[in-house]
Structure 1
Amino acid sequence: MEIKNLIAATYAPLKEDGSLNLGIIKEYGFFLKSNKVAGAFVNGSTGDFASLTPDERKLIIDAWAADKPSNFALINHVGDISLKTAKDLASHCADKVDAIATLSPFYFKPRSLQQLVDYCTEVAMCAPNLPFYYYHIPVLTGAHYSMEDFLELAENQIPNLAGIKFTNNDVLGFKHSKNFNNNKYNILYGVDEMFLSSLPYEATGWVGSTYNHLAPLYYKIKYAFENGNISLAAQLMDKSVQFIELLDGRGGFNGAGKSFMKILGIDCGPSRFPHKTFSNEELVEIKGALKKLGIMSYTNRL
């Protein structure tokens, strides 16, 4: 199965007391699907996986698996600093999702690319019938390895290797990974503010936080590019960058983005430390600022 189009990196919905709000996930999935988002990347960085317990991560993916829309890809990120935990999370969802992914351990880090591939192999083998994606996000993991080299090692060691979630602004590295072995692997681009930069390199799938908020905008960027209107595509891409910079400047994008979901009709609740949770007054101010920038008309709708 090749995963294509926009995949939203989803938030972990919480109640005001900080416990999981699993009841909203069905509506969350419908909201994404109605905005032509093709799937969900669950329990990733946007989903604050590092601030969740393993049991909470299991409950979240169980809820998504039970209530996901039809024809909607479900990728579960199972990575952890503990290999044992990552393997347990992979085994748990082996019959529930469409694919799994893991990033590199990020406290005690692999000392070589071969160690990283070995880690991925053990996780992938806990769900051998599922496509496996390596989640490349070196700015957070410190695993600054060539993904072309990763694929060269991993293709002979991980039978269910499907591709990479490439969250790095190195578009040439993305290109080389995509072209590896005659485009054998599904390379999903993961830097939202560089969406337009991925299009000349024939990206077909993207995973990102802002697809929760701005899917119509990204489809307009793609349409403009494909029809040769590069100037319009660039102008629209500026809207994405302005959205990200504005929210990030209010105290960090993770907390702001999650809180902003309330404006769109999906209340994902508070954020866990260290991310900020925004008050209703702050959200009204953010909405007003986005309206002045002409961005609110491109947001997702219920």
Structure 2
Amino acid sequence: MRGVIVPLVTPFNEDYSIDFAALEEHIGFLQKAGVHGIFINATTGEFTSLTSEERRLLAEKGRELVSSVFYLVGTASTSTFEVIELTKHAQDIGTDYVVIAPPYYCPLSDEALFRHYSMIAEKTDIPMILYNIPACANPLSVSLIKRLAVEYSNIAGVKETIDSINHVRDVIIEVKSERKDFKVFTGLDQHFLNTLILGGDGGIMACANFAPEIHLALYKAFQEKRFEKVMMYAQKLAKLSRVYDIASSFGSAIKLAMSIRGLSIKPVLRPPYIMDGEKVKEEIERLLSRVLQ
């Protein structure tokens, strides 16, 4: 697994119920575009606003719909035992990879985080992608990622949603020197090219929900060593990522951009998140019109 993986939004109706028709349409759109993987119950999918039952239901529905690309399911929780149960469920339905962010809310030491992930790795067989997102959860240090990768062969990679190319560099150098098969993905659109240049494997990036053609064009040009094209698309992604600075939340940014591009996802977020209004939508529309020409 490498290339462009999309952390999928969860579409909602106006009454906050899950819009399964929109989910099917959006997954079909992404598969037709040629993305390399689809990740359900992601941060972008507002997984913290879903019940455990809804997360299982979405995982099962996604498994039915994703047919031509890698299928990933998020199984993070503050409870180690709930993570194990969700991960076993994902394994049972035939998921290719699970993606597991660290516990959030309470600060934890590296030793506590190691125990958390080791218990999951020992109770399940499915390949696991660690998810380092220090803005929202306990951070994963380079030494901890390396220790987990060395001790557990089913810990297959890491998603780095961290605005530090030095950290990503160190993970690639330190961990891949011990595990050549260990995958390193960026979670930030603007760091896609940086990660590839350093020897990473791709990106799991939210803007690919509404502009997958830019990410895919960059990846293809990089593979073909057409570096003028690479630079052009990298600059487009750098500008496109400013959508997060305009909106009050990543969810609002992505769903407004999808709405502007004519995709079927309604601009609805589950509480406690709220959608931004027309002023923000107009600013995002101006950004998209400049970048996606």
Which sits farther off after the overlay, 118-127 or 29-38?
A: 118-127
Measured after TM superposition, the shift of residue 289 of structure 1 is: 4.1
Would the alpha carbon gap of residues 225 and 163 (structure 1) be closer, same or farther in structure 2, given more than 3 Å must change? closer
CA–CA separation in structure 2 for the residues paired with 1:143 and 1:159: 21
Q: How does 1:123-134 map to 2 (within 5 A)?
A: 123-128=120-125, 130-134=126-130
CA–CA separation in structure 2 for the residues paired with 1:63 and 1:226: 33
1:165 corresponds, among 149, 159, 175, to 159
Q: What residue number does 1:23 align with?
A: 21
Measured after TM superposition, the shift of residue 171 of structure 1 is: 3.0
Q: What residue number does 2:180 align with?
A: 183
Would the alpha carbon gap of residues 246 and 159 (structure 1) be closer, same or farther in structure 2, given more than 3 Å must change? closer
Q: 2:146–2:175: 8 Å Cα contact kept in structure 1?
A: no
2:137 aligned partner, one-letter code: T
1:25 aligned partner, one-letter code: L
Q: What residue number does 1:138 align with?
A: 134
Measured after TM superposition, the shift of residue 134 of structure 1 is: 1.2
2:60 aligned partner, one-letter code: D
SS at match of 1:271: coil
SS at match of 1:59: helix
Would the alpha carbon gap of residues 246 and 93 (structure 1) be closer, same or farther in structure 2, given more than 3 Å must change? closer
Would the alpha carbon gap of residues 184 and 226 (structure 1) be closer, same or farther in structure 2, given more than 3 Å must change? closer
1:29 aligned partner, one-letter code: I
Q: Provide the identity percentage.
A: 22
CA–CA separation in structure 1 for the residues paired with 2:29 and 2:269: 20
SS at match of 2:57: helix
Q: How does 1:64-143 map to 2 (within 5 A)?
A: 64-68=62-66, 70-96=67-93, 97-111=95-109, 113-128=110-125, 130-143=126-139
2:40 corresponds, among 36, 39, 42, to 42
Q: What residue number does 2:147 align with?
A: 152
Q: How does 1:141-290 map to 2 (within 5 A)?
A: 141-146=137-142, 148-156=143-151, 158-168=152-162, 169=164, 170-177=167-174, 179-226=176-223, 230=227, 232-262=229-259, 263-278=261-276, 283=281, 286-290=284-288
Which sits farther off after the overlay, 158-167 or 11-20?
A: 158-167
Q: Deviations over 1:51-85 (max 9, x none)?
A: 211111111111101222x2211111101112222
Q: 1:166–1:174: 8 Å Cα contact kept in structure 2?
A: no
Measured after TM superposition, the shift of residue 284 of structure 1 is: 5.7
With normalisation by structure 1, the TM-score equals 0.85
Measured after TM superposition, the shift of residue 24 of structure 1 is: 2.4
With normalisation by structure 2, the TM-score equals 0.87
CA–CA separation in structure 2 for the residues paired with 1:6 and 1:197: 14
SS at match of 1:94: helix
Would the alpha carbon gap of residues 232 and 107 (structure 1) be closer, same or farther in structure 2, given more than 3 Å must change? same
2:72 aligned partner, one-letter code: I
CA–CA separation in structure 1 for the residues paired with 2:220 and 2:55: 36
Q: 2:240–2:287: 8 Å Cα contact kept in structure 1?
A: no
Would the alpha carbon gap of residues 154 and 288 (structure 1) be closer, same or farther in structure 2, given more than 3 Å must change? closer
Would the alpha carbon gap of residues 106 and 289 (structure 1) be closer, same or farther in structure 2, given more than 3 Å must change? closer
CA–CA separation in structure 2 for the residues paired with 1:184 and 1:198: 16
Which sits farther off after the overlay, 83-92 or 221-230?
A: 221-230
CA–CA separation in structure 2 for the residues paired with 1:75 and 1:185: 16
CA–CA separation in structure 2 for the residues paired with 1:235 and 1:86: 41
Would the alpha carbon gap of residues 176 and 264 (structure 1) be closer, same or farther in structure 2, given more than 3 Å must change? farther
Q: 2:8–2:42: 8 Å Cα contact kept in structure 1?
A: yes
Q: 1:151–1:177: 8 Å Cα contact kept in structure 2?
A: yes
Q: What residue number does 1:300 align with?
A: none
Would the alpha carbon gap of residues 220 and 178 (structure 1) be closer, same or farther in structure 2, given more than 3 Å must change? farther
Unaligned stretches of 5+ in structure 1? 298-302
SS at match of 1:237: helix
Which sits farther off after the overlay, 10-19 or 256-265?
A: 256-265
Q: 1:18–1:270: 8 Å Cα contact kept in structure 2?
A: yes
CA–CA separation in structure 1 for the residues paired with 2:30 and 2:176: 30
